[in-house]
Each structure stands twice: as structure tokens, then as C-alpha cells.
Amino acid sequence: MSTATHDVPALARALGIHDHPRLVMNPPHPEGLSPDGTLAVSANPATGEPIAAVRTETRDSLDATLGRAHRAFLAWRNVPAPTRGLVVRAIADEFRRLKEPLGRLVSLEVGKILQEGLGEVQETIDIADYAVGLSRQLPGLTLPSERPEHRLIEQWHPLGPIGVITAFNFPNAVWGWNAMLAAVCGDTTVWKPSLFAPLTALATNHIAQRVASSMGHDDLFTLAVGPDDTVAKPLVDDKRLPLISATGSCRMGRLVGEAVARRLGRCLLELGGNNAAIIDASADLDLAVPAVVFGAVGTAGQRCTTTRRLIVHESLADEVTRRLVKAYATIRIGDPLAEGTLVGPLISDAAVRAFLAAVEAAKAQGGRLLCGGTVARVPGLERGRFVTPAIIRAPSENRLPIAHEETFAPILYVFTTRTLDEAIVMNNSADQGLSSAIFTDSLRNAERFLAPAGSDCGIANVNAGTSGAEIGGAFGGEKDTGGGRESGSDSWKAYMRRQTCTINHGSAVRLAQGITFERRDEHPQG
């Protein structure tokens, strides 16, 4: 029996959700929503077989969930931030204790290799640790006042319940980026996860709320599983949620942004990426090629930071493609829970069809398929959604329209250039602006890439790949990527409201800009 068939009841027991009222083992329906819409059935993409199901929300139950989150916020906002940090610290410790079974569940449900599943849970632990330190800060400014005996300060207050909508590819960490920061900022979280990953969401939310409840704080973390019309749209439209943080496609982001803007709410959008890596003439290929390989095939190409376009100086193009093809030949495709697997399955049959269609479109547009581009047959996992990662070399004139479409799959398009200026233009030609990279041993070229006229992406790396961002820096991108920022740096400000305060400690009324507004008792003559 394949190791992809895991003891799900044992995982559920380890994570404390085996008796959860919303968990349904041995679901009577295949993956997706049940015909009556009451169950979200999760399937293992390595086998195509259902794992378990989670009961979905009704409109009434969603309204009740929002009400609980709002009432919890009214109390939580008054808890001192350092005390809120203690709750988050305890949550981080519980995720540490349960890292292995939760990481396995991530791998089982969305097809990530086990190392990536464990790494994702570690990312939530890391952002929780970051948030604990932040709980002792949340700093405001003291500003000089132009008026004598006045003081001007800026402070930050909790914002409210936060609506969090996540995609399947990071079913734990993206929630963590939002929920852990929101918690120390004094906010509660209402989470709408992907229907491809309801089990990870159920376990993740249950762990966090179980800890919070044990410390006297109910409903800080609530879960709303269901389809867009029943859950996502009501969340987006609800004024009780002053901020909607949404991760997904550019199309989804436009719909969310327009709806939230109509009610004058806030959006934090983390949308698509069509990321490029540049290899210039001075690059160290022993460094560049492995980084590109991971960036292109990690998570089976299903990261928003996946390397999708490779822009190589013409003097190195043949050598780089030779090395890439050789490296791809060593990639082990198969059961994501098996030791040694580097690439697991795509999330769905539709994703496999999109992959194959993109490869055919590239060939029709003059692209040359160097390797991969087919369905992969894995013994014992014949119903799995496996593909062979593809490398496609663009025609000499670099015209390949399909490369400007984000296909969520392991396809790497290779282009050649003569100059760095040309390479930067190609890097910036995508509609999205999430992540970018340059491999170079030239200090000047590195600085040109990072200059205002260089990469237009929210993330720009030198001698490091496009994926694998650390939690300490703000994560997000420009243009069609949505402009949002999550995780580190000052991203916490998105979850709070700014307040400017003027304090007069004198005995006179003084107006800014030197304005005088004195009472005059004289009567006009005449």
C-alpha cells in the first residue's frame, strides 16, 4: 500500500479534532461540495480519493459566527497588547508540539512534499514568535507641535474582526500571517479557507482557539467553510469586517476589491505572480541553477512566487538549459509523504488540464519543449494528479504570449537577452509584480536591478530565487498582484487604525497655522 494512504483517524486524534462536530470521516461523496452543499469533501491529490469532510456554513450560521467574532473583539481589544502576546506565544508552543501531524495533514490534503508541509507549519510558528515580540511594541510617533504647550502623538488601536480568505497552496501559513498579527493587534479573525483544504483549516483553527479558550478568550479565531456565494461574498460585503485579507487569483482580487471598496472597507490583497529570474553573464551557475530549479518546481509550481520565466544572457543560454534539463531528469515525482520525493501532485484534474493546455499553446506559439510537459504515471498512484515539470525555450525573437499567463503548474519558460536593460524590461513586462530575482556577480548589475528603474516587483532578490520568503520582511507585490503586504516589517499596521492626538497642556486656546479667532464685542458704527 502506498504511503500516500495515511491513517487519517490517527492524524485527527493527534490534532484533537477526531470528535469535532464539523468533521465527517468516510464521507459519502467524492471531493468537492456534496450535492446538498452541506459538506466540503477533501481528497488526497496523490490518490484522487476522499479523505474526510467538513460541514459547511449556512447563511444563518455564518451570521452567528460573525456575531461571535464581533463580540469577542469588543472584549479582546481591551486586553493589553503584551497579554495578547502571551496568548499568541502559547499558540506557537502548541503548533510546535503538533508540527509533525499538522505538517503531514498539509501534505496529505494539498500534495506538498512532507518537508514543505512541515516548513509551512514552521512558518506559522515563526510569525507567531514575531508577533509575540511585536506585542511589546506597536509603536506610535511623538511629533513636534507648532503650537506652544502642545504635544502631538500618533497611536494605533485595534481595528475589528478581520475576514481572511486563503488559497489551497498555503493552507496553514497564510492564515498564520494574518491571524497571529491580527491577534496581537487586538483583532479577531473569521477565516474562509479553500474548499481544497478544509481539514487543515479545521485543525489549524481548532488548535489556536483551543489554546485561546483555555486562557479565557473565546471566539478569537472562527472558521467559515463553504462556497463563495454562501461564505466569501457575505464576508466581503459585511461591514462588521473592516478589513478583508484575500489571497488568490487576480480575478478574485478584482471582485473582492470592488465589493469592499463599495462599502469603504479596507482590502489586503495577495494575488497572482508571474515571476522572472535573470541570469546575467557574470552569474555563478552553480548557485543559480539549483535556485531556479527549486523556484520552478517547488510545490509542483503551485506557489504565487514560483519561477515561471527565466531570462538568460545569450552567452550562457545553452549551458543553463543543458544544466536545467539534466537537473530535471533527477527529480523524483510521486507520493508527497514518501522520503526522497521532490515534486508531488497538482491539486486537481482541472490543474492538470491547464498544465497540458499551456504546454500545447507554447509549442503552437513556437516554443521548444526541452523536457517534461506530460502526465506522469506513478506506480500505485494511477489516479494521482502528477505531471512532469516542463522547460520550454522561447523562439529567438522572444515572442511567447502564453508566458504572460499565470499557469499554476511547473512550467518554466526560458528567454535570452543581450543586455541587462533588456532583461529588466522583460522582467517588468508581466501584469503581476510579486517576486523577482537576479543572479549576478556584478555589484553594478545587482544595484541596477534594485534601483527605482529596476525590478518593479514587491520582492527583489539578488543571488536568491523568487520563492522562499522569510517572515521578517513584508510579503506582497505590485500591479495585478494587488499591492498588499503581509508578514513582517510594518505589515501589522494593516490590522490597526491610526489615531493622531493633540494634547494642550497650557491654559490658552491656540490654533494651528497662526490663525486667530478672537471674540470682538465692538458694535459696528452707522
Catalytic residues: 270, 304
HEC secondary structure over 276-330? EEEECCCCCHHHHHHHHHHHHHHHHHCCCCCEEEEEEECCCHHHHHHHHHHHHCC
Give residues with Cβ within 8 angstroms of 278, minimum separation 6: 311, 312, 420, 423, 424, 427, 436, 437, 438, 439, 440, 449
Rounded Cα distance, 235 and 190, in Å: 9
Rounded Cα distance, 82 and 87, in Å: 9
Rounded Cα distance, 375 and 125, in Å: 36
Give residues with Cβ within 8 angstroms of 218, minimum separation 6: 68, 72, 209, 212
Is residue 56 within 8 Å of 235, Cβ to Cβ? no
**Best CA proximity match to 183, nearest among 273, 103, 77:** 77
> Distance from first CA to last CA of the chain, Å, rounded?
107
Is residue 155 within 8 Å of 503, Cβ to Cβ? no
Indicate the residue type of 277: A
Is residue 473 within 8 Å of 124, Cβ to Cβ? no
> 48: left (phi > 0), else alpha (psi -120 to 50), else beta?
left
Give the residue carrying C-alpha cell 487543515. 200
- Going by the DSSP 8-state scheme, the letter that residue 250 receives in this structure is H
Angle between helices 114-134 and 99-110 (to 10 degrees): 130
Rounded Cα distance, 449 and 280, in Å: 11
Radius of gyration, CA atoms only, the chain: 26
**Best CA proximity match to 8, nearest among 52, 65, 73:** 52
The strand order across the sheet containing 307-313 reads: 368-371, 390-393, 411-417, 307-313, 275-279, 435-439, 459-462
